Amino acid sequence: MDEKAVDSIIRAALAEDLPAGDITTDTLIASELQVRAVIISKEEGVLAGLDIARRVFQLLDPSIVFEKQKEDGQRFRREEILARLSGPAVAILKGERTALNFLQRLCGIATMTSRFAAAAGPKTKILDTRKTTPNLRLLEKYAVRMGGGYNHRLNLSEAVLIKDNHLRLFSSIREAVEKAKALLPPLTEIEVEVTSVGEAKEALEAGASRLLLDNMPLRRMRRVLALVAGRIPVEVSGRINLRRVQKISCLGVDYISVGRLTHSYRSIDISLELVED
């Protein structure tokens, strides 16, 4: 990840939580007091964001020692120590909630992604979408990768995806694809969202380089896949859950995009606890 972009996100989060310092800690805790602490899981999951948590504390006080006990992408058990840290109590207490907010959410995304990836099997890739928390997309898409998923386009500047609302402004799929091919550099991937076998046929004949089958019944997917016959990659989206992922992957699709990875995950319970020497 872009370190400057990540630091910008973290600084904004710290400014939100510490607009004028921490009135409780600044009042009660001596600045010279040194403590030790652990970051510990309260349930099992897949780790993502431990370096983000470390960076929170580093930005507050570079003297804090942060020792990782696990690496992002690894599974952890309940009551497992994920990291040990030591340093000024004031800085550790100030960074506790911001660090955990990042860590719990990113672990939640990674954990959910791992379940979808396992359900899909090795031949179908699970993709994320742009249905992310505003300004946190970089971190959330990172968490998807840590869970065994793959990133779709990061933003609207990155790739061409002609969707239903674009097509409403054209007379046909062919017209939209041909315009894109005429105006974009050669070999630019042009993905087209289709909802019927007829639309898939038109997109294929127009020169689309990838199809997105949106909210399509399984029987219709089979017909589209038979039509495509492996000539271009096929992606499926819409109302995707774990049971449906298994059924779709068995058809032989290349990708399944899952919006819920980043908009309907459940944060993993993780805490920071001070410990005695």
Q: What is the CATH number of the domain that holds 23?
A: 3.90.1170.20
> Burial code of 38-76, b = ≥16 C-beta within 10 A, e = fewer?
bbbbeeebbbbbbbbbbbbbbbbeeebebebbbebeeeb
* Non-local CB neighbours of 258 within 8 Å, separated by 6+ positions: 116, 126, 127, 128, 129, 149, 237, 240, 245
The pLDDT score that the predictor gives to residue 97 is 98
182/81 same-domain check: no
Task: Single out the catalytic residue among 72, 193, 235, 254.
Answer: 193
Q: Active-site residue 61, yes or no? A: no
Task: Give the angle subtended at the CA of 205 by the CAs of 199 and 207, to the nearest 5°.
Answer: 105
153/250 same-domain check: yes
* Non-local CB neighbours of 255 within 8 Å, separated by 6+ positions: 124, 125, 126, 127, 150, 233, 234, 235, 236
136/104 same-domain check: no
Q: For residue 211, what is the DSSP state?
A: E
Which amino acid, residue 146? M
Please give the residue range of the domain that contains residue 271: 3-112+265-275
106/166 same-domain check: no
Q: Active-site residue 26, yes or no? A: no
244/121 same-domain check: yes
* Non-local CB neighbours of 251 within 8 Å, separated by 6+ positions: 218, 221, 222, 225
Half-sphere exposure of 105 (CA within 13 A, CB side): 19
Task: Single out the catalytic residue among 84, 97, 174, 220.
Answer: 97
- Angle of the 137-146 helix axis to the 89-120 helix axis, nearest 10: 60
Ranges under pLDDT 50 in the chain = none
39/108 same-domain check: yes
90/159 same-domain check: no
Q: Are strands 190-194 and 160-162 parallel, antiparallel or unpaired?
A: parallel
The pLDDT score that the predictor gives to residue 88 is 98
30/73 same-domain check: yes
The pLDDT score that the predictor gives to residue 1 is 84
Q: Active-site residue 193, yes or no? A: yes
200/251 same-domain check: yes
146/104 same-domain check: no
Q: Active-site residue 131, yes or no? A: yes
Half-sphere exposure of 240 (CA within 13 A, CB side): 31
As a dihedral over the C-alpha atoms of residue 215, residue 118, residue 115, residue 97, rounded to 10 degrees, the angle is -120
233/138 same-domain check: yes
Task: Single out the catalytic residue among 163, 179, 247, 266.
Answer: 163
Q: What CATH code is carried by the domain that includes residue 159?
A: 3.20.20.70
Which tokens sit at 12? 């904004």
Which amino acid, residue 191? E
161/247 same-domain check: yes
Q: How many domains does the chain have?
A: 2
Task: Single out the catalytic residue among 84, 130, 131, 260.
Answer: 131
Q: Active-site residue 4, yes or no? A: no
Task: Single out the catalytic residue among 130, 214, 222, 269.
Answer: 214
